[in-house]
Each structure stands twice: as structure tokens, then as C-alpha cells.
């Protein structure tokens, strides 16, 4: 598979979340975290989820990534319905429909950049040599050429995020779940990485669902921004952004439409 081969792509909606609810049993009571969430993501779309801290965003991702199960509702990924019941173990093995990238990059210090990238492939049973060859093909596109044998501690924050994204992409699904991928970066690097991610998304044809705290990040990158309420999370509002926007995606330019969207979102999120 070369760098530009389109990734496997099944027909239909890649992601459909219908009326999902979830609560956790704590020592004292039952804590509802998600109530009746419905979200649809079309193929090739870039959708952002934004909501106050602790509202339940990561919990939703855990459900999508097969790490946890909803109490009710339905999740369909690439035409496959995730089960609501059954042993956690059986359930887990059916996962990996979408590739999940956690907030901190979670690169393993004991693996080189190349070996970090192939982690998902190895877990899926691909041989090391083949996995490495496939990863190498993508290094130029990710701007990582020359760093194959470096160890993560020698990379800058932005580079680390690119390795983490490469690892996610190599899992072989083009539906990506990104949980605050740039939360740990400083503002300037963050903007650079947003530009880069946007470019990659445009070129590679990925479907992206992104969690963020940052209104501006959501607005800059997404086709659609979904604002959530505080816990228990439910959908408070959805903002569609046209593309090309005013002057197209020009990273350092703040367009009128973006400004309006930001204002709307700020109001939505603050007046709780």
C-alpha cells in the first residue's frame, strides 16, 4: 500500500449514533453521563464535538472505540452495529472499526518512531517486517522522514502528535476518533498542527470526529461543530460551516463566517 492509495472504504454512513445514553454507578448513586445523544457523520466529513470539561465527551469516544458500552441507543460504524450486551471481552475483539487517538500522544518510549507507528498493525497480527514497510511508505506524507529510528523523547510536541496520528491512520480504517489531539501543545504549535491536520484530511479522504475544548479549533477545522451540554451530555446545538468558507481554509486568516460561528458557539456554551 503506497502513501496515496485510498484507505478501505465501505459504502453508507461511516458513523451513526442514535439515542445513546450511558450512566456510571458510583459508590453512592448512579451518575448519568450521556443522555440521548444522536450524531451522524458522513463519509469524508470533519465533525467536532465541543463541551465543558467532564461533560462526557471521552465517554462517548470510549463507546465508539469499543472500550465501553452504552446503556441504550445504537451505534453503527461502517455498517456494523456495536453490541450493547455480551461479555466485555468478546465485545472488545469486535472493536477496531474506527481508529482512536487519545489526548496525550501515548508514544511508547521503548519503541522507535517507526515501531510506535506500527503498533496497531502488530496488535492486529501483521508481521513486523510488513508493518514496517507499510509505515515507511507514509513517513514522507507525515513529514517524519529521517526520524524512523529516533526515540519519541527526541521529538518535539508537534512531531509526536504526527507520529500518533500516523499510528492511528495505519490501523487501516479511515474513520478517525481524535480526543483533544492538540490539548497539550502550546498555541503556536497548535495552530501549525491544525493546519497540517486539515491539509492531511483534505488529501487523504479521512472521516474525522474530533473532541476539543477550543471553540476556535473546532471552527477552523470542521464541517460541523456539535456543542454539548454539561454532564449529562446531550446535544445543545449544531453549527454547520460551509466550505470553502469565505476565503477558503487559509489558516492565518480569520474570516467573517468563522467569527460568527465562534460567537454563536461561545454563547451556546456559556449560557448554561
Partner 1 sequence: MDISRAVRTVRRLLPAILLGVLLLVGWELYVRISGVRPQILPAPSRVFAQGIAHSSDLWRHASATLQVTLIGCSLTLIVSWLIATAVDFIPWFRLSVTPFLVASQTIPIVAIAPLMIIWFGFGTLPKVLVIILVTFFPITLGLIEGFLTTSPTATALLTSMGASRWQIFYRLRVPQAMPRFFTSLRIGVTYAVVGAIFAEYVGARAGLGLYMSAQKNSFRTDLVLAAVALTALMSVALFLFTYLVQRIVAPWTVVTGKDTRG
Ligand X SMILES: Nc1ncnc2c1ncn2[C@@H]1O[C@H](COP(=O)(O)OP(=O)(O)OP(=O)(O)O)[C@@H](O)[C@H]1O
Nearer to ligand X, 57 or 236 (CB): 57
For every residue of 139-151, DSSP letters joined together read TTTTT-TT-TT--
Nearer to Mg ion, 58 or 112 (CB): 58
- Which residue in 33, 50, 176, 219 binds ligand X (CB under 6 A)? 33
Residue 65 within binding range of ligand X, rule CB under 6 A: no
Contact of 95 with 62, CB cutoff 8 Å: no
Q: Which residue is it, cell 451518575?
A: 31
- Which listed range, 54-62, 189-197, 251-259, 261-269, lies at the site for Mg ion (CB under 5 A)? 54-62
Residue 2 within binding range of partner 1, rule CB under 8 A: no
Residue 21 within binding range of a second copy, rule CB under 8 A: no
Nearer to a second copy, 135 or 219 (CB): 219
Question: Counting beta carbons within 10 angstroms of the beta carbon of residue 189, is it exposed (0 to 12), middle (13 to 18) or buried (19 or more)?
Answer: middle
How far apart, in whole angstroms, are the C-alpha atoms of residue 126 and residue 130? 7
Nearest distance in Å: CB 157, a second copy = 8
Residue 14 within binding range of partner 1, rule CB under 8 A: no
Residue 191 within binding range of a second copy, rule CB under 8 A: yes
How many chain residues are in contact with partner 1, going by CB under 8 A? Answer: 32
Residue 109 within binding range of partner 1, rule CB under 8 A: yes
Neighbouring residues of 110: CB distance < 8 A, sequence distance ≥ 6? none
Three-state secondary-structure class, residue 70: coil
* Cα angle 146-172-139, degrees, rounded to a multiple of 5: 10
Task: Give 258-265 contacts, CB < 8 A, sequence gap 24+.
Answer: 258/216, 258/219, 258/220, 261/219, 261/225, 262/215, 262/216, 262/219, 264/237, 264/239, 265/50, 265/215, 265/218, 265/219, 265/225, 265/227, 265/237, 265/239
Nearest distance in Å: CB 59, partner 1 = 12
How far apart, in whole angstroms, are the C-alpha atoms of residue 146 and residue 149? 8
How many chain residues are in contact with Mg ion, going by CB under 5 A? Answer: 1
Which one of Mg ion, a second copy, ligand X, none interacts with residue 254, CB within 5 to 8 A by kind?
a second copy
Site for ligand X in 225-244 (CB under 6 A): 231
Task: Give the binding site for a second copy (CB under 8 A).
Answer: 52-53, 186-189, 191-192, 212-216, 252-254, 259, 262-263, 266-267, 269-270
Task: Give the binding site for partner 1 (CB under 8 A).
Answer: 26-28, 54, 62, 65-67, 89, 92-93, 95-96, 99-104, 106, 108-110, 119-120, 122-124, 151, 153, 171, 231
Amino acid at each position: 500500500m503506497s502513501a496515496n492509495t485510498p484507505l478501505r472504504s465501505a459504502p453508507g454512513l461511516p458513523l451513526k449514533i442514535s439515542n445513546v445514553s450511558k450512566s456510571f454507578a458510583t459508590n453512592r448513586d448512579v451518575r448519568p453521563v450521556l443522555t440521548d445523544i444522536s450524531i451522524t457523520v458522513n463519509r469524508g466529513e470533519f465533525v467536532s464535538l465541543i463541551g465543558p470539561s467532564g461533560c462526557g465527551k471521552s465517554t462517548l469516544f470510549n463507546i465508539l472505540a469499543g472500550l465501553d458500552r452504552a446503556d441504550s441507543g445504537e451505534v453503527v460504524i461502517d455498517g456494523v452495529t456495536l453490541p450493547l450486551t455480551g461479555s466485555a471481552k468478546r465485545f472488545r475483539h469486535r472493536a477496531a472499526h474506527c481508529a482512536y487517538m487519545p489526548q496525550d500522544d501515548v508514544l511508547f518510549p521503548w519503541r522507535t518512531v517507526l515501531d510506535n507507528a506500527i503498533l496497531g498493525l502488530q496488535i492486529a497480527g501483521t508481521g513486523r517486517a510488513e508493518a514496517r514497510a507499510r509505515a515507511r511508505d507514509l513517513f514522507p506524507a507525515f513529514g517524519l522522514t529521517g526520524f524512523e529510528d529516533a526515540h519519541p523523547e527526541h521529538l518535539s510536541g508537534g512531531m509526536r502528535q504526527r507520529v500518533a496520528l500516523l499510528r492511528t491512520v495505519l490501523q487501516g480504517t479511515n474513520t478517525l476518533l481524535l480526543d483533544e489531539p492538540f490539548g497539550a501543545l502550546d498555541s503556536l504549535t497548535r495552530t501549525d498542527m491544525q493546519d497540517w491536520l486539515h491539509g492531511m484530511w483534505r488529501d487523504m479522504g479521512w472521516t474525522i470526529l474530533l473532541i476539543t475544548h477550543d471553540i476556535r479549533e473546532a471552527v477552523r477545522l470542521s464541517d460541523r461543530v456539535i456543542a454539548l451540554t454539561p454532564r449529562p451530555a446531550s446535544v445543545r446545538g449544531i453549527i454547520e460551516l460551509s466550505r470553502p468558507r469565505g476565503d477558503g481554509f487559509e489558516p492565518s486568516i480569520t474570516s467573517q463566517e468563522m467569527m460568527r460561528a465562534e460567537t454563536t458557539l461561545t454563547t451556546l456554551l456559556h449560557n448554561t
